[in-house]
Amino acid sequence: MHIIDIIEKKKNGFALSKDEIEYFIKGIVTEDEEKKIPEYQTSALLMAIYFQSMTSEETAYLTNAMVQSGERVDLSEIEGIKVDKHSTGGVADTTTLILAPLVAACGAPVSKMSGRGLGHTGGTLDKLESIEGFNVIQTIDNFKKIVNKTKISVIGQSGNLAPADKKLYSLRDVTGTVNSIPLIASSIMSKKIAAGCDALVLDVKTGNGSFLGEISEAERLAHAMVNLGKAAGIETRAIISDMNQPLGKAIGNALEVKEAIDVLNGSKDSERLKAVALELGSLMLKLAKIADEKTAKAMLQKAIDDGSGIAKLKEMVIAQGGNPDVIDNPSLLPTAKNIIELKSDKSGYINSMDTKSLGRAAALLGAGREELTDIIDHAVGYVMECELGEHINAGDTLCAIHYNDNRNLEDAMSLIKNSIHIEKSKNKKSKKLIYKII
């Protein structure tokens, strides 16, 4: 078997066999220089896959081969049906910090392994590290003990989970092959399958703040991932949710932690964020066989109302070495030296937003990273004071910007202002928040 033959076969539109795909994956992770497939040939095959796509069988073979390329975590010692959640990424998407404590408070064990965030803000791990002392680096044994004790833990991914995916993604990122449904599905699901959960809920974003702008593309990805999960013996569901504006109001690590704490304490200021968190959490409770369709959301709302959800977040913080006083007093989170209000210079209706650009503005302030080695500033970011469909007057506040230095402040302010499109007449088309459950 030769890699050039595999490249030619896929380039010409034929399906690859299980053996050919396993040969490819083994060839990119091997330490044997004679058997190693060079990056230029790997890139060629990725480009062939990008243009010719893959069948569902090929995608399953690729996912399984990537799972087998590293460790597979055994969480059988954790009592109950272990549930996990994954989002394809968006702006101000803080749902994990809300739904995980609520789901755990309702009795379902939440065992979540997350990665670092790239782009506009950090990922869930970076947000949690806004809490003084919070340790996302845990051994698997300790991870299992924490979940058995508290029903909830969020940690960094094991260094050897699906190592083939790390190699493929680094090449996809620089060869223009990121937006391939089979490659996205196998990348996400190989890590989730290897992480050892029993049930998985996926939040597939669509709109101008996601990497899948069209709903049809989001549906294809959702179906592909649900099928991959089920084939691996993991009960999997997906929602398709809107990302044509930031999901929450806060964009920035500590600011998003504060917003999550506020929602868990019953705040009514972040209804869109809360609605998606409750939808995902309801599916998690159903998959964990804790609740049925009629009672799931009511149980989650009760966990907000009676304080058991916020108490569960505090339990996790204590178990992972964080300062629990932060949960009672969010002012202990990192705070920026300066806050400035960005005002609108015209009146009208907010008919659309360039959500990706709004995310980039937070990165300009220091809330995100381009490389995993970059250091982020947990304190900076901004809080939106407007949303789609609202009427706004000249001089009204668009957002409150939290910053520590003004190196990129003017650029960030300009980007935010240009990303919020205000027009005289109101756009009659309304966007749904949740389009479909798969």
**Exactly one of 10, 82, 85, 86 is catalytic; which is it?**
86
CATH code for the domain defined by 334-423? 3.90.1170.30
**DSSP state string for 206-248:** ESTTSS--SHHHHHHHHHHHHHHHHHTT-EEEEEEEE-SS-SS
Q: What is the DSSP string of 6-44?
A: HHHHHHTTPPPPHHHHHHHHHHHH-S-TTTPPPHHHHHH
pLDDT digit string, tens, across residues 180-212: 999 999 999 999 999 999 999 999 999 999 888
Q: Is 369 a catalytic residue?
A: no
Catalytic site residue 165?
yes
Residue 429: per-residue pLDDT? 76
Domain 3-52 has CATH 1.20.970.10: yes
Which H or E run contains 413? helix 409-419
Catalytic-residue membership of 391: no
Q: Per residue in 264-284, pLDDT tens?
A: 999 999 999 999 999 999 999
Q: What is the distance between the alpha carbons of residues 288 and 291, in angstroms, rounded to a whole number?
A: 8
Just give the CATH number of 83-330: 3.40.1030.10
147, 367, 423 from 428: Cα distances, Å: 47, 34, 12
Write down the catalytic residue from 10, 116, 166, 172.
172
- The CA distance from 316 to 112, in Å, is 12
Tell me the three state secondary structure of residue 429: coil
* Residue 187 annotated to the active site: yes
| pLDDT > 80? residue 159 | no
9 catalytic? Reply is no
- The residue extents of the domains of the chain are 3-52, 83-330, 334-423
Residue 371: band (very low, low, confident or very high) from pLDDT cuts 50, 70, 90:
confident
* Element holding 338 (H helix, E strand): strand 338-343
| CB of 7 closer than 8 Å to CB of 13 | no
